[in-house]
């Protein structure tokens, strides 16, 4: 059985949402003043991968076999389908299935 969610979860979600919105607005503001270049385009294309890597690394470090298998499934799905959102949903589905099976 999974432990109950911490009482600080709503506050953590609000802070994360606020940070995401602040980053989005800062990006729009910065793009008004930064000249377009190949280096800037490469950095912008690499940012989602860096964020996703950080999130999955934390989940993998805090988790166990279930998380490792789900991450492996997501990576494999991403490589096969070239669809990151679908791969992430597949990884979540694998984790849910493994948890339902008692892992």
Question: Could you give the CA distance from residue 86 to residue 82 in angstroms, rounded to a whole number?
Answer: 9
Higher pLDDT pick, 49 / 29 = 29
Question: Could you tell me if 77 and 86 are in contact, meaning their C-beta atoms sit under 8 angstroms apart?
Answer: yes
Binned at pLDDT 50, 70 and 90, residue 53 comes out as confident
* First-to-last C-alpha distance (Å) of the chain: 10
Q: What is the pLDDT of residues 56-71, one digit of tens each?
A: 777 777 778 888 898 8
Residue 31 has pLDDT above 80, yes or no: yes
Question: Could you give the CA distance from residue 7 to residue 87 in angstroms, rounded to a whole number?
Answer: 30
The rounded mean pLDDT for the chain is: 83
Domain borders along the chain are: 7-36, 47-103
């Amino acid at each position: 059985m999974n432990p109950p969610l911490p009482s600080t979860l709503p506050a953590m979600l609000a802070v994360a949402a606020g940070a995401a919105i602040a980053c989005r607005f800062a990006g729009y503001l910065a793009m008004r003043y930064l000249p377009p270049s190949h280096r800037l385009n490469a950095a912008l294309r690499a940012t989602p991968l860096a964020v996703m890597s950080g999130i999955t690394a934390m989940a993998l470090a805090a988790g166990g076999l279930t998380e490792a298998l789900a991450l492996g499934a997501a990576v494999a799905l991403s490589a096969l389908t070239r669809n990151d959102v679908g791969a992430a949903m597949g990884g979540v589905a694998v984790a849910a299935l493994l948890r339902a099976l008692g892992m």
